[in-house]
């Protein structure tokens, strides 16, 4: 799966979790966006399960809006997962009954500020990036991304950064028409022309020191990636499979519909 000298268990996975989800108010008014659920689990959990499936286990969460709720979710994680017996008449601790294997995750929670830019958030977790490389993604998008292939693209490309490119889906119905008659109608066709960033980045550690600074408004998507590309140091890993960001209430409804119908293509894990 990986080269013999690459161990995903030692590579930090940075997840940007500071957004407010202002376009998702119907589902996120009382929650930070990464905790909005798909199939009863936060979308952040789905992202982490994807990485966990491919052997990554060290996560660094860049927190912002309602960060206390994300911290509390994981502090109480076992209570959400396992059966337990509690004797209310005494002072005893809960007696846990293992109902399933808990994830072997090591999670570092970092408050990176309420209104901080995405690039500045990464800069503020620099002390926890103790490997030659690190992975990076957003806490609000899921995809059936082949992460070992992303790693290979990065290592073989021998550049500082790699971004996963995806084809965006149109929000408008596409029609194939002949002689005034609609012969085919696709509700959300994938646009084959052009690529957009789907997140799921991999960087050399030097990216943080060379392309990020202490400006609290610094956005990853502006100067850092633009300069990296201009310097010829940015690979693209093409992803043709499923990918979807959860930006609106409509997206949330669609993702839950896919999960409930058993068509969640991003579910690459077994349980």
Give 115-133 pLDDT, tens digit per residue. 999 999 999 999 999 999 9
**pLDDT value at residue 107:** 98
The residue among 267 and 4 whose pLDDT is bigger is 267
Burial of 164 (0-12, 13-18, 19+ CB in 10 A): buried
Is the per-residue pLDDT at 37 higher than 70?
Answer: yes
Is the per-residue pLDDT at 242 higher than 90?
Answer: yes
**pLDDT value at residue 192:** 57
List all residues 6 or more positions away from 104 whose beta carbon is below 8 Å from its beta carbon: 52, 57
SS3 category, 246: coil
As a whole number, mean pLDDT of residues 9-32 equals 80
Over pLDDT 70: what percentage of the chain?
Answer: 86
For 68-108, the pLDDT digits (tens) are 999 999 999 888 888 888 888 777 788 888 766 778 999 99
* 179 pLDDT tier (thresholds 50, 70, 90): low
**pLDDT value at residue 243:** 94
As a whole number, mean pLDDT of residues 36-64 equals 96
Output the six-digit token pair for 198: 């789907």
Radius of gyration of the chain (CA): 20
- Count the residues in the chain: 271
- Domain-wise residue ranges, the chain: 8-85+97-260
Sign of CA dihedral 126, 128, 131, 137: negative
**pLDDT value at residue 15:** 98
For 183-214, the pLDDT digits (tens) are 565 655 555 567 889 999 999 999 999 999 99
In this prediction the pTM is: 0.88
**pLDDT value at residue 182:** 58
**pLDDT value at residue 149:** 96
Q: Where are the beta strands (DSSP E) in 5-102?
A: 12-17, 37-38, 41-42, 58-63, 83-85, 95-97
Is the per-residue pLDDT at 173 higher than 60?
Answer: no
List C-alpha distances in Å: 257 to 5, 39, 140, 231. Answer: 40, 9, 17, 42
The residue among 56 and 173 whose pLDDT is bigger is 56
Question: What is the dotted CATH code of the domain comprising 8-85+97-260?
Answer: 3.90.550.10
For 145-160, the pLDDT digits (tens) are 999 999 999 999 999 9
How far apart are alpha carbons 51 and 176 in whole angstroms?
39
**pLDDT value at residue 195:** 84
């Amino acid at each position: 799966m990986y080269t013999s000298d690459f161990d995903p268990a030692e590579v930090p996975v940075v997840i940007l979790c500071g957004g407010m989800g202002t376009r998702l108010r119907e589902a996120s008014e009382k929650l930070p966006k990464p905790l909005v659920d798909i199939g009863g689990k936060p979308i952040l959990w789905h992202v982490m399960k994807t990485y966990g499936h491919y052997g990554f286990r060290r996560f660094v969460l860049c927190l912002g809006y309602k960060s206390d709720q994300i911290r509390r979710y994981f502090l109480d994680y076992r209570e959400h997962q396992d059966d337990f017996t509690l004797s209310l008449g005494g002072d005893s601790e809960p007696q846990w009954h293992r109902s399933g294997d808990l994830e072997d995750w090591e999670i570092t929670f970092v408050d990176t500020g309420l209104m901080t830019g995405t690039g500045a958030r990464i800069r503020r977790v620099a002390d926890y990036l103790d490997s030659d490389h690190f992975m990076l993604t957003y806490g609000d998008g899921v995809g059936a991304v082949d992460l070992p292939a992303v790693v290979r693209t990065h290592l073989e490309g021998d550049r500082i950064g790699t971004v996963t490119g995806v084809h965006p889906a149109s929000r408008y119905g596409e029609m194939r028409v002949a002689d005034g008659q609609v012969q085919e109608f696709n509700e959300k066709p994938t646009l084959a022309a052009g690529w957009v960033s789907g997140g799921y980045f991999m960087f050399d550690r030097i990216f943080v020191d060379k392309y990020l600074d202490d400006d609290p408004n610094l956005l990853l998507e502006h100067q850092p990636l633009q300069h990296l590309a201009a310097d010829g140091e940015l690979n693209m890993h093409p992803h043709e499979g499923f990918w979807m960001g959860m930006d609106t209430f409509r997206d949330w409804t669609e993702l839950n519909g896919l999960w409930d119908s058993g068509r969640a293509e991003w579910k690459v894990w077994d349980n």
